[in-house]
Amino acid sequence: MKRIAFFLLALNAACSSPATKSFPQGRVVDLSYPYDEQTIFWPTAEPFKLERVADGVTDKGYYYAANNFCMAEHGGTHIDAPIHFHRDGKTVDRIPLEQLMGEGVVVDVADKCANDPDYQITVADIEVWEKQHGRLPNGAIVFLRTGYGKRWPDRRSYMGTDERGPEAVAKLHFPGLAPETARWLVANRSIKAIGLDTPSIDYGQSQLFEAHRTLFERNIPAFENLANLDQLPAKGFVVVALPIKIAGGSGGPLRAIAIIPD
């Protein structure tokens, strides 16, 4: 733990010093999916579109490439800013950078989700993790591993349906965080952010999105559609999760990484 503490101090120094010449070393795990024609979006959201503007040798003899892209805020690996479900919540550009980086933990419930697409992660699941690894660290970024990352990019398997449009929302089935667990976390633990490997913090059949609302009232952002959580240990790694800085945005694409010390 002393090594992890030193690593976190080094990360903080690296991120705060304008004269930084080094960065903490370790194995880097990419937690984000690429944006392409396979990227999964909510059934009512516009998919990712890439328009080729230029791709070739110019009349002056050099190669040049440029594109336009269009997409909804909430799709692929992305952040939900608190304003997404709370009128007074922070927009994505207002979330402090310090809140998007720090010590990470993984609560693994993949076995429980394997045969239950509507599983909701319980307080007991968190307590089991704490019995094995100690209390959730203050200021932790908590990842919930459901195992659904292995289903990407199969929309039907990952979301429960590959249909699009408003009618498809009622057919969504995937695990999420139980509302009572969200309430327990904000009342009893101090976390920076939370994320998981499904399309939403609330499970697919949710109609009230209570986990979102509970977290966002406390300005705790959520990371959704995370990749490669199976490559992370239960604790002992650092997260850096930086979204596009959309002024007034309710969310946006997220490039998230984990650094596991050597």
User: pLDDT digits over 5-42, tens only?
Assistant: 545 554 554 454 444 445 668 999 999 999 999 999 99
> Is position 84 annotated as part of the catalytic site?
yes
Class level of CATH domain 2-46+73-261: alpha beta
Find the DSSP H helices in the chain: 2-16, 110-113, 123-133, 155-159, 179-188, 210-217
Reference 174, options 150, 199, 153; nearest CA is 199
Where exactly are the structural domains of the chain? 2-46+73-261
Reference 198, options 149, 247, 232; nearest CA is 149
- Four-CA torsion 230, 226, 105, 26, nearest 10 degrees: 70
- Per residue in 102-138, pLDDT (tens digit) is 999 999 999 999 999 999 999 999 999 999 999 999 9
- Per residue in 56-101, pLDDT (tens digit) is 999 999 999 999 999 999 999 999 999 999 999 999 999 999 999 9
35 phi, psi to nearest 5 deg: -95, 120
In this structure, what token pair is assigned to residue 66? 């440029």
Rounded Cα distance between 172 and 157, Å, is: 10
- Four-CA torsion 40, 41, 47, 48, nearest 10 degrees: -60
> Is residue 51's pLDDT more than 60?
yes
Please give the C-alpha separations between residue 57 and each of 50, 60, 169, 191, in angstroms, as whole numbers.
Answer: 20, 8, 45, 50
Catalytic residue among 78, 84, 86, 212: 84
> Is residue 1's pLDDT more than 90?
no
